Every structure is written in structure tokens, then in C-alpha cells.
């Protein structure tokens, strides 16, 4: 089973090498992999890093884009694998991730997409925000379209999709800034549902101040709420529950951000 994997990048040199290395290592498990890198015209040394991995990159697109959703869509249009997915330039896969995805996909050929556990990591690959991760994993045993309309508990780096389902559901919405993945998953769910990949984490999501979640979390949860409302219905129970979830999470993130800024601003030895 062939996998087409897209890596969108724009000035992501700081973490790009770790990302590309983790993808290259997936080939060691014998996975049939088509790797597409879509760079928006980086000026920070990203292209030099990409060149070091050029032999293992099947398609390289370097041209201006309108943001990450546009870059990923360019990859989707060129992908030829039965399964497709994307891994952002600041995230990483763990050993044998894609082999595990294929094993589950072969057992569940009618599912539209597959998801697994995902760690949140810092600049040094240390796991952080464990409480958030465990909270999201609490919903895995009751995973359903209803549950997902209430709360986004699936981490994008730990997902993979049937290309046929993507073709039916349509590409990413490029007008969305921060929740284009969640809105996309909601549409995919209509095409065959989701199946969980058991076992340890398959990916690491790198949280940092310049990431979408770090910079735009308020907008992210606003867009997620609007996507859930459109999918479930304005006056549905799911929409009501998601409204409460939205403000609870935004409040928690705001407090965490303030605490981080306070620690950073504190004088040495305080």
C-alpha cells in the first residue's frame, strides 16, 4: 500500500532537518512512500536542508503559496498513493509510524482516515503539556462523529487519509487560518469514519510560540466551533457542547500563556 506524504514548509529551517530525517527513516521499515515537499520560497536556509534529503524526496515544489492549506492542497493534487497525509516542517514521526498506519488501513479498508496518539514536544523533543494529551486521549474509547463534533481530540500529525475519501470530501479550505485540519476531518468523517491506530504515539507535535497553535489559538478554537456548528447544525447538542469546550480551552490556554510570559520575564534568580 503506497503512502503519499506531504511536507509543507516556509522558513522552517529550525526544525526541518528533524522532520525530514524522521520521514526518511520510515523507508527503513519497507513502506512504499512517495514524499512531496512543498516550499513557499523560503529564505532562511530551508532549501539547503531540503537539498541534503533530495535523493529521498520524490517531488519538490518551490514556489510562492497563499499559506499552509494552499501548500498542502498542491501536494494533494499531485499525490498518487492510496493513503495520503501531511507532516508539518516542525513535527516529527516516530520509528515505524507509517508501517503501523498501513497495517491498520489494510484491516479497515472502508475507513476514510486513521489516527493515533501524538505527543506534544518542545524544542528539545521533550514531552510537554501532558495533561492536554491525556485529556484528548480520554475521548479515544468513545470516538465517534458525534464526539468529534463536540471536541477536537485528534492531533493532525498523527493522521492519515484514504486518497479516495479526500477526493470525495474535497481539499482543505484555504480561507481558514488555524482550523483547516479540523474542518477537513469533519468532512472526511462523512466518507467512511475514522479508525484509531493502537499502541504508542506515532508522531510528535512541536509546540512553540511561532506555531499556529501558539500564535493563533483563540482564532483556532473560534474556527473549530464554527466548523462544528456548520457540520452538526446551529441548534444541535454537539454545537452547544462545543461552545462550552471552546471557551474552557481558550481560558486554559490564556492562563498557560500568561504564566509562560511571567516566567520568561522574571529576573534571574527570582
Tens-digit pLDDT string for the chain (270 aa)? 999 999 999 999 999 999 999 999 999 999 999 999 999 999 999 999 999 999 999 999 999 999 999 999 999 999 999 999 999 999 999 999 999 999 999 999 999 999 999 999 999 999 999 999 999 999 999 999 999 999 999 999 999 999 999 999 999 999 999 999 999 999 999 999 999 999 999 999 999 766 555 556 789 989 999 999 999 999 999 999 999 888 677 566 556 555 555 554 555 444
Q: Quick check: helix, strand or coil at residue 125?
A: coil
| pTM (2 d.p.) | 0.90
What domains are defined for the chain? 2-261 (3.90.550.10)
pLDDT in tens, 213-267: 555 678 998 999 999 999 999 999 999 999 988 867 756 655 655 555 555 455 5
Q: What DSSP letter does each residue of 31-78 carry, written as one string?
A: -EEEEEEEE----SSHHHHHHHTGGG-SEEEES--SSHHHHHHHHHHH
Q: How many CB atoms lie within 10 A of CB 151?
A: 21
Amino acid at each position: 500500500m503506497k503512502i503519499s506524504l506531504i511536507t509543507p514548509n516556509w522558513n522552517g529551517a529550525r526544525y526541518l532537518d528533524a522532520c525530514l530525517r524522521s520521514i526518511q527513516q520510515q523507508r527503513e521499515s519497507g513502506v512504499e512512500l512517495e514524499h512531496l515537499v512543498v516550499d513557499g520560497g523560503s529564505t532562511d536556509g530551508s532549501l539547503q536542508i531540503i537539498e541534503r534529503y533530495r535523493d529521498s524526496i520524490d517531488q519538490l515544489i518551490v514556489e510562492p503559496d497563499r499559506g499552509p492549506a494552499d501548500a498542502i492542497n498542491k501536494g494533494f493534487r499531485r499525490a498518487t498513493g492510496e493513503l495520503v497525509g501531511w507532516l508539518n516542517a516542525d513535527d516529527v514521526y516516530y520509528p515505524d509510524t507509517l508501517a503501523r498506519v498501513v497495517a491498520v488501513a489494510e484491516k479497515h479498508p472502508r475507513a476514510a482516515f486513521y489516527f493515533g496518539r501524538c505527543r506534544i514536544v518542545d524544542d528539545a523533543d521533550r514531552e510537554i503539556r501532558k495533561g492536554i494529551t491525556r485529556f484528548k486521549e480520554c475521548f479515544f474509547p468513545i470516538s465517534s462523529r458525534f464526539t468529534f463534533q463536540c471536541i477536537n481530540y485528534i492531533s493532525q500529525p498523527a493522521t492519515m487519509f484514504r486518497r479516495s475519501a479526500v477526493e470525495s470530501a474535497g481539499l482543505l479550505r484555504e480561507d481558514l487560518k488555524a482550523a483547516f485540519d479540523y474542518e477537513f476531518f469533519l468532512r472526511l468523517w462523512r466518507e467512511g469514519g475514522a479508525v484509531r491506530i493502537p499502541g504508542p504515539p506515532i508522531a510528535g507535535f512541536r509546540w512553540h510560540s511561532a506555531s499556529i497553535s501558539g500564535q493563533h489559538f483563540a482564532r483556532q478554537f473560534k474556527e473549530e466551533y464554527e466548523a462544528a456548528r456548520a457540520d452538526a447544525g446551529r441548534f444541535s447538542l454537539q454545537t452547544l457542547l462545543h461552545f462550552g469546550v471552546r471557551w474552557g480551552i481558550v481560558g486554559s490556554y490564556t492562563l498557560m500563556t500568561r504564566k509562560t510570559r511571567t516566567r520568561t520575564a522574571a529576573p534571574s534568580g527570582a
